[in-house]
Structure 1
Amino acid sequence: MLTTPKKLAIASAAFVALAATSSAALAQKKYDAGATDTEIKVGNIMPYSGPASAYGVIGKTAEAYFKKINAEGGINGRKINFISYDDAYSPPKTVEQARKLVESDEVLLVFNPLGTPSNTAIQKYLNSKKVPQLFVATGATKWNDPKGFPWTMGWQPNYQNETQIYAKYILKEKPNAKIAVLYQNDDYGKDYLKGLKDGLGAKAASMIVMEESYEVSEPTIDSHIVKLKSTGADVFVNITTPKFAAQAIKKNAEIGWKPLHFLNNVSASIGSVMKPAGFEAGQGIISSAYLKDTSDPQWKNDAGMKAFDEFLTKYFPEGNRIDGSVMYGYTVAQGLAHVLKASGDNLTRENVMKQAASIKNLELGGLLPGIKVNTSATDFAPISQVQLIKFKGETWERFGEILGADATN
């Protein structure tokens, strides 16, 4: 059969259209190192050993969550290759591991590395390499600096905001308080301390009777607690990581010091702090929360908690359900899954950061009702709301309103 010019033109147009469609489809797929048609390499650094090893379970939980994602088909058809290294909470080691992830493993991004000193040590390096340092596991205020460090983003509520909230509570409930502060002698501890002073304002100088710092290398902080008690303070602001938080609560009970006790959110875990310290010793302690407390029976029939329990049963049976770090790891891993899914087939580092900075009212099953994840190109603080909690019996009880970034609403 002869092909007419008209038929030839139609066939030719169809071929051009098909070629254009194919090239458009190919053009839509953009990859940087660490991403392919089948895989997304995600790097992570955790203190699996050392003084902050209680937090190591965060990395193990995230690993289990990505196993779940992979078992369910991955993200947009790609499996997560999660590469996690131990830095023992030592900044020089963090630098070494970050270089390994970027230069040897060639990961797409470094996700949820833990610790303020650790992240500080790698922030300039990762930003110079234009590698996302995404959802860092520390609430230091400095992670929200899109202009200065456009490749670094926090996750949890910031430390200064948290202690500003405690300060406002103290000013209202105990205006004549004598405040003793114990803090870790690094950026993490100093950030919390600054928030407390800012919140107390002009009264900080007269109300704070002692600021006592400790080093992470110290085996025990008992002597610091005895020293703080000797001031006669009736309010104790406890800015410590889990190991030292449990020691402080225990020692307070041993020496009979019963101030109004504020414990920073990063050590409010029942499994790794309150239980080891002894439930009786922790009665009345005030902290803050943005995640659901797994030990609270009120969430028994909650859909988010049921999904969390199903995840533990199937993918992380060895996980300690009442360790707050497990819920944290689960929730932040969901946050990354959201960003990677939104990135589609454009898995460039630039687009990953663009999607991370475009989160609108994201609700995750582990967050308290009313608390949502929001970011923008000028706001790199995904979660900026908390609720005060008080320890009673063997669990935390929430009280008051959801408090926002300005510590007043």
Structure 2
Amino acid sequence: MPFPRLLSRSPARPAVLARRLAALALLAAGAGQAHADILIGQTTAVSGPVAASVGETLLGVHAYLDSVNAQGGVNGEKIKLITLDDNFKPPRAAENAAKLIEQENVVALFMSRGTPHTEAILPLLAKYKLALIAPSTGAMVFHQPVNPYVFNVRSSYQAEAQRAIEHLFQITLQRVAVVHADDSFGADCAEGAKKGFAKLQKEPVAVIKAAREKPDYAAIIGQLKSTNAQAALWCGSGVAVVDGVKALRQAGSAAQVVTLSNNASGGFIKLLGDQGRGVIVSQVFPSVRALGIPINREATGLLKGKGELSPAAMEGFASAKVLVEALRRAGPKPTREKVIAALNGMSTFDLGGLELGYSPTDHTGLHYVELSIIGSDGRFMR
């Protein structure tokens, strides 16, 4: 739209001209403010093998961010989350992150999904010195040693895997195997399981690597049956574990299957169908049915009419709360440097019954792990 003419046929008086210039300045300022959103970038698997759980996670994220924006945003600025689909491909995750940082000029990255995918963007964090908040992975590489640019919310996969192995022996099972994806996520899971076996002075009957893209289920099931495994800790993407459980049951095995919180979603249960009952899934947040916990009540209220609160939705909701708090503490017009400083200074933050904290030497976030089992009603039970 062209600017209005300032001069008429006769020269304007100085006072009139000053008022016109002031009005133009206000218009220009207003136009600038209309585009002054706080830009946050996200690369995640909107499509691909973990799309169902990612969709639930994003449901929780947007429930909280929409509520904050409806109330005026943070320090008078609204948050704009730019989400790019990486199809659960690590190279594409790196490409998306570069675009978000270099072209969109985001002040932080948020909730990347997957261990190798998040590892792929670490060099960009260091190069451009910006934070990644709440990666949706529990890999130990993001916890120890402390990465100055990665701020975790959820607990580690190693803690989950160790807890799972301990549980299986506590319920008197003795022949326990481990099946894990042949990537950095799977290796991390296997390391946590190893700690669980060592603590109990036990040994696995088998440790089986499964190709991340196309697992050889016939070979995997063959090894589990040949060792007479009573239980298997199966670490992989949702689709991979679902297909593994179905193949195991079709082969006539009743072995107990345990998997990690990356599969703690309603979508995972739906994919399992009739084979879901009895599958154990570790959790990194309290039961969503526990409405005595403030964050659960808050999330349930904001999700009303939008969707059901699931463990995956809770991870997204809690992570969005951490993001917003960091932006608040960073002050007006947050920069990449201010966001990092705000996070490092967040020594305590009550999510609503769960306390989280960071320091320059500790970016772990929450320390919470428990187990759930899929019941006959197709829901997680604790």
Find out whether 1:201 has 2:198 as its counterpart: yes
Find out whether 1:382 has 2:365 as its counterpart: yes
Find out whether 1:291 has 2:285 as its counterpart: yes
Shift, 1:36, TM fit: 11
The equivalent residue for 2:341 is 354
SS of residue paired to 2:304? helix
Of stretches 345-354 and 102-111 in structure 1, the one that deviates more from structure 2 is: 345-354
Query: How many residues are paired up?
Result: 348
Shift, 1:323, TM fit: 4.3
Q: From 293, 305, 310, give the equivalent of 2:301.
A: 310
Contact 1:229–1:257 (8 Å) recurs in 2: yes
The whole-number CA distance in structure 2 between the counterparts of 1:193 and 1:200 is 10
The whole-number CA distance in structure 1 between the counterparts of 2:218 and 2:343 is 42
Q: From 233, 237, 253, give the equivalent of 1:237.
A: 233
Aligned positions of 1:7-406 closer than 5 A: 38-57=36-55, 58-59=57-58, 61-145=60-144, 149-174=147-172, 177-201=174-198, 207-218=203-214, 221=217, 223-269=219-265, 271-278=266-273, 281-294=275-288, 296=289, 298-299=290-291, 303-313=294-304, 317=306, 319=307, 321=308, 323-345=310-332, 347-365=334-352, 371-394=354-377, 395-398=379-382
Shift, 1:233, TM fit: 0.7
**Larger RCO, structures 1/2 (Cα 8 Å, 6+ apart):** 2
Structure 2 stretches lacking a partner, 5+ long = 1-32
Contact 1:42–1:80 (8 Å) recurs in 2: yes
SS of residue paired to 1:207? coil
In structure 2, the CA distance between the partners of 1:256 and 1:193, relative to structure 1 (3 Å rule), is: same
SS of residue paired to 2:312? helix
Shift, 1:156, TM fit: 1.0
Q: Which amino acid aligns with 1:184?
A: A
The whole-number CA distance in structure 1 between the counterparts of 2:72 and 2:204 is 54
Contact 1:127–1:152 (8 Å) recurs in 2: no
The whole-number CA distance in structure 1 between the counterparts of 2:40 and 2:130 is 11
Structure 1 stretches lacking a partner, 5+ long = 1-34, 399-409
The equivalent residue for 2:9 is none
Shift, 1:42, TM fit: 0.3
Shift, 1:338, TM fit: 1.4
Deviations 1:9-52 (A, max 9, x none): xxxxxxxxxxxxxxxxxxxxxxxxxx999421100001112222
The whole-number CA distance in structure 2 between the counterparts of 1:339 and 1:332 is 11
Q: Which amino acid aligns with 2:278?
A: G
Shift, 1:150, TM fit: 0.8
Shift, 1:384, TM fit: 1.3
Shift, 1:60, TM fit: 5.1
Q: Which amino acid aligns with 2:44?
A: M
Deviations 1:100-123 (A, max 9, x none): 011110100111111100111110
SS of residue paired to 1:76? coil
Shift, 1:193, TM fit: 0.4
In structure 2, the CA distance between the partners of 1:282 and 1:226, relative to structure 1 (3 Å rule), is: farther
The whole-number CA distance in structure 1 between the counterparts of 2:59 and 2:106 is 18
Contact 1:44–1:59 (8 Å) recurs in 2: no
The whole-number CA distance in structure 2 between the counterparts of 1:46 and 1:213 is 25
Aligned CA-pair RMSD = 2.7
The whole-number CA distance in structure 2 between the counterparts of 1:222 and 1:38 is 55
Contact 1:87–1:94 (8 Å) recurs in 2: yes
SS of residue paired to 1:328? helix
In structure 2, the CA distance between the partners of 1:146 and 1:77, relative to structure 1 (3 Å rule), is: farther
The equivalent residue for 1:25 is none
TM-score (normalised: structure 2): 0.82
The whole-number CA distance in structure 2 between the counterparts of 1:251 and 1:114 is 26
Contact 2:260–2:283 (8 Å) recurs in 1: no
TM-score (normalised: structure 1): 0.77
The whole-number CA distance in structure 2 between the counterparts of 1:173 and 1:116 is 30
Contact 1:75–1:340 (8 Å) recurs in 2: yes
Contact 2:197–2:204 (8 Å) recurs in 1: no
